[in-house]
Amino acid sequence: MTAAGGNGRSGHWEALLFDLDGTLADSIELILHCYRYTMRTHLGHEPDDALWLAGIGTPLVMQLQAFARSPDELLAMQETYRVFQRTVHDDMVRPYPGVCETVDGLARRGIRLGVVTSKHLEMTLRTLRVCGLDEQFDVIITPEDVTHGKPDPESVHVALDRLGVRSRERVLFVGDAPFDVMAGRAAGVRTAGALWGPFGHDGLRDAAPDYLLRTFAELLSLDPDAT
């Protein structure tokens, strides 16, 4: 596969962007653990996990709005979730199989790499460190960097602006959630759905990603010029 970079040669992505939770990091059980604790603390019971899973990929405040009964409770729920997450995070997160090796391989090809996540910066950096991915990415975009979170395309635009990438056609956004695909498509980049996340094929189908990936390592053979 020949390098493209900014010179227009074929067979190479100029940039790859990745969601974090459910895409790079196997952290779904951590997320559910924090959700259950927060609901028990504030509501006295645990609503069905499916209600929370459906919103994974959007900012925490958007998810909690569906459960909070007042603005004050919404703020308190955010604090409860974040404080509890800090106490259990490191023991409940790990990279998905093949992630570290594949990311290293992509970086060696000269492809610009970025993370676009709905997770706040503190825990994003902690997750990347625990997964051994804290030095591989050229840009990291979190809710602190944007006004509108996914599925709005703002975070993708900001990432590409900071990377200095002009050609949207040679950019791929990889995510496990329909919201990732929606954000990527709205930003004019190509998208790949990660089938190892909580949504799977059925959850991603209606979002219509350009590619569906069964393993992370498939990215090494994915050709932007293949028809």
Q: What is the CA radius of gyration of the chain?
A: 17
CA atoms within 13 A of residue 194's CA, in its CB half-sphere: 29
Please list, in sequence order, all residues whose beta carbon lies within 8 angstroms of the beta carbon of residue 138, skipping any fewer than 6 positions away. 112, 113, 114, 163
Six-digit token string for 43: 């509501």
- If one counts every other C-beta atom within 10 angstroms of the C-beta of residue 110, the result is 11
Report the SS3 class of residue 56: strand
- Is residue 44 exposed (0-12), middle (13-18) or buried (19+ Cβ within 10 Å)? exposed
Q: Which of 19, 26, 176, 180 is catalytic?
A: 19
Extended beta strands in 27-164, E state: 94-95, 112-116, 139-141
**Catalytic annotation on 19?**
yes
Residues serving a catalytic function are 19
